[in-house]
Structure 1
Amino acid sequence: MPEEVLFKSESDQSREAIASYLRKVADNLDSGADITLKAGSETVTLAPPARPTFEVKAEREGPAGNMTELSVEFELEWDETDDGDGSGSGQLEIE
């Protein structure tokens, strides 16, 4: 099935601002609340199940004009009909 982008936002932000966004997502996950994303007139609300799949990926992309780009991606995944009882592939640690 092809990917359907429901929401996308990309902009330069301070580390503090990014931490604030991630903190809000973490707070909503902790409390079981939905996650609503808004940018301009775009908005989407998602309701992650109790146990979504959590993917963390670090990448190096390039070269593009002798520049490489580093990224870290945090992704929550679940089937729309998921009951949240999936199992993971090992314990993640972030230091």
Structure 2
Amino acid sequence: MPEEVLFKSEHTQDREAIASYLRSVAEKLEQGGSITLKAGSESVTVEPPARPTFEVKAEREGPADGAGELSIEFELEWDEDSDGSGGSGGALEIE
């Protein structure tokens, strides 16, 4: 299935600003509301279901000697026509 990017924003920020964005998303999830992403004239609103799939991934891209780029990715996934009741794997812990 081809991927369609509905919205993308990428820029360097300090850790406090990133934490603020993540808190805003967490609050919207707790409230059960929609999430609107905006940057300049672009925006998209999504409505995550009550139980989306939550994927967390730590990656290293680049040479095997460790001189590449590190990333942590947080992703919510759901089928547009589903209630989000799927998912598998062990419980996530963040320390």
TM-score, normalised by the number of residues in structure 2: 0.93
Task: Give the residue type in structure 2 aligned to 1:71.
Answer: S
SS in 2 for 1:27: helix
- C-alpha RMSD of the superposition: 1.2
Give the match for residue 52 of structure 1: 52
Matched, 1:85 2:85: yes
1:42-81 Cα deviation digits (max 9, x unpaired): 0000000000000000000113xx8410000000000001
Identity %: 74
**Take 2:58 and 2:74, find their aligned partners in 1: how far apart are those partners?**
9
TM-score, normalised by the number of residues in structure 1: 0.93
Give the match for residue 8 of structure 1: 8
Matched, 1:39 2:34: no
Give how far 1:19 is off: 0.2
Give the number of aligned pairs: 93
SS in 2 for 1:45: strand
Give how far 1:82 is off: 1.1
SS in 1 for 2:23: helix
SS in 1 for 2:44: strand
Give how far 1:34 is off: 0.4
